[in-house]
Amino acid sequence: MDIISVNGITKTYRQYRRFPGLIGSVRSLLTRQYTEETAVRDISFSIREGEAVGYLGPNGAGKSTMIKMMTGILVPTAGEMHILGSVPHEARKMNAQHIGVVFGQRSQLWWDLPVMDSFELHKYIYKISAPTYQNNLKFCMELLSLRDFIHKPVRQLSLGQRMRVEIAMALLHDPKLLFLDEPTIGLDVMAKDQIRQFLRTVNRDKKVTILLTTHDMKDLEEICPRMIVVNKGTLVYDGSVLKLRDRLGDERRVVIDFREEPGTIEFPGLTLLQEEGLRKTYLFARGESTVFELVSRIASQYPVEDASIESEDIESLIRRYYQQLALDDMRNRDIG
Ligand SMILES: Nc1ncnc2c1ncn2[C@@H]1O[C@H](COP(=O)(O)OP(=O)(O)O)[C@@H](O)[C@H]1O
Ligand SMILES: [Mg+2]
């Protein structure tokens, strides 16, 4: 079942021109001159129950705008969108009961209250039953290690602690669907890791559908098998990380330690990247032969001590993808 369906969604922001001064403000009101900016352009996708999807793109690509429309905060300029069967901005109250939202840059906590009080208020506002609340609280307290600071006021927490609390709070009412906008932004490695592991558990064990925006590729690798990539408001890729690797040509790094200098090695698809004495790093673009065949061939002809193979990380994969898109764009313009 599709829990999210987005159909030709466009969002255009209209910014009214302001003239300075008192006379200016009267003039602003009278002329109402504005500029328009399309943040999201004709985007369609659907997400099934239980999926974990990464919504990826550079700054300004329109990720937050999409999340705000999906949570009913913003109204689309065009297109149709259904979340859990209803139109988000028309069913905000109903949606709130089944959706959890975390904004990395904006807190939903009461700044001066101890964490526990924020949780209790949340329980009251969302009318969460005592057993559900207790269960979820216990689950989050343990897996997010909240115990040490649960009685501190929110303003005294570190960013990493606060994010853990935000995520816990978003899950207290047992939502079916969790939206997170840049949940790991600005966090240290340890805090990021804990949050990633937690989200993976929530998705696998509690079957909560997750959509998160990020520009951190590790978030994807660890939480989301599927990614949707946007660029300048447009959807440019929707599929698995694996499929993108296939499409761009699977590139591997092969690191070989030689016993003695091998000289130049010629092999289709092989490029020397880096040399540190007898350790040489090659880039291998898979063609007719597999990387395994490559390494065996080299080992049979040269004095190889050791070899290791690394997959290209998602970051460099996506970078290559953007480069290819820019190139295609240029070619199309030349033709057109
Ligand atoms: N409230 C707003 N008014 C006008 N323009 C906006 C507003 N919010 C975002 N934008 C513009 O829309 C584009 C997409 O923004 P956003 O959705 O925040 O991107 P992302 O989250 O991917 O960084 C940006 O160019 C941004 O400047
Ligand atoms: Mg954003």
Q: How far is the CA of 63 from the centre of ligand 1 (A)?
A: 8
- pLDDT of 322 reads 82
**Which residue's CA is the nearest one to ligand 1's atom 6?**
13
CB 74 within 8 A of CB 2: no
Enumerate the β-bridge partners of residue 5.
46, 82
Looking at residue 310, its pLDDT comes to 81
Ligand nearest the Cα atom of residue 180: 2
Give residue 335's pLDDT. Answer: 64
As its CATH architecture, domain 48-245 has: 3-Layer(aba) Sandwich (3.40)
* Ligand 1 centroid distance, CA of 207 (Å): 31
Domain ranges of the chain: 48-245, 251-311
> From the CA of 18, how far away is ligand 1's center (Å)?
19
**What's the confidence (pLDDT) of residue 76?**
97
Q: Please give the pLDDT value at position 316.
A: 75
Cα 256 to averaged position of ligand 1 atoms, centre (Å): 46
Residue showing tokens 């997959």: 311
pLDDT at 261: 94
Q: For 245-307, what is the HEC assignment? A: HHHHCCEEEEEEEECCCCCCCCCCCEEEEEEECCEEEEEEECCCCCHHHHHHHHHHHCCEEEE
- Ligand 1 neighbourhood includes 43 CB (under 6 angstroms): no
Measured in Å, residue 34 CA sits from the centre of ligand 1 at 16
Give 10-residue mean pLDDT values along the chain (336 residues).
Answer: 94 84 78 87 97 90 95 96 94 85 85 94 94 96 94 94 95 96 90 94 96 83 89 92 76 91 91 93 84 91 91 74 83 72
| Residue ranges near ligand 2 (ion) with Cβ within 5 Å | 63-64
Pocket flag, ligand 1, residue 231 (CB < 6 Å): no
- Atom of ligand 1 at shortest distance to CA of 64? 21
This prediction has a pTM of 0.81
